[in-house]
Amino acid sequence: MNYKFKGLGVAMVTPFTHEKEIDYNATEKLIEHLIGGGVDYLVVLGTTGETATLSDKEKKSLVKFVIKQNKKRVPIVVGVGGNDTKHVIESIDNYDYDDIDAILSVTPYYNKPSQKGLELHFKEIAANCPVPVILYNVPGRTGVNMTAETTLKLAQNSKIIAVKEASGNLNQISYILRDKPANFLVLSGDDGLILPQLALGMDGLISVLGNALPKPLSEMIKLGMNGNFAEARKINLNLVEVIDTIFVEGSPSGVKAALSIKGLMENSLRLPLAPVSESTYNKLSQLLMNFR
């Protein structure tokens, strides 16, 4: 069951109209672009989806829309996280899980819990969630790092099936890979590090860049997972400057610019995020000409 989350997952952006409302027509186009591009599963309401700026009503509506448009073609993961354990558990009840395959839950941000606090937080979430849980460790955004030791403790829980590791710490990741249960997946959250991480034995990537360039990224990941690093490396070297450029002014500002260049949606974000500068936009336009 866990293996449906191997390969390429995409942390979907939330398209907005010029008036900053959810653009459902663009969302439909994005879903077709992603599934047609070979992604293995969709992640809705992640950081890349500007979820912090969506109301509860918008979140429910967006999840229902993605499920309907997906038509059971690929698995769906929904982001349900926060820094108040009780509120996260209440939020889990907002969704119908008939067509949701797992939730992705980020380490609590701002209040900087101890490792014991992280362990208890995720155990409570797993106990109250009707579907499996994917842990999400992204210390650059949350201010707290979940150690390999804590991740491995949580991996013993049958409801916790994977971790999305975006620490960028290859030593930490190596300890998790060495000591994890056989069916526990270790997924990357770092587009720019995925090739060396696949060489270490990671199981795939939950990507930002995949919104804009699902085909080459999917191909690279399949090659890497099959051990064909010579061919995967060629694709990685073609992508490296695009990856750097989409993150240079923050995410998802960069990837939304790329999607607007590709004609898939408006270059519209909700504050406090702002569109990238004209120079970054123009550079992305030039780089994306190599992937038409």
The answer to whether the peptide bond before residue 113 is cis (omega within 30 degrees of 0) is no
29 in catalytic set:
no
180 in catalytic set:
no
Which of 59, 164, 256, 283 is an active site residue?
A: 164
Burial of 221 (0-12, 13-18, 19+ CB in 10 A): buried
Secondary structure (DSSP) of 142-175 = HS----HHHHHHHHTSTTEEEEEE-S--HHHHHH
What is the C-alpha separation between 177 and 227, in angstroms, rounded? Answer: 17
What is the C-alpha separation between 262 and 30, in angstroms, rounded? Answer: 11
Which of 136, 256, 281, 283 is an active site residue?
A: 136
Q: Which residues of 236-253 are buried (b: 16+ CB within 10 A; e: fewer)?
A: beebeebbebbbbbebbb
Catalytic residue positions, numbered: 136, 164
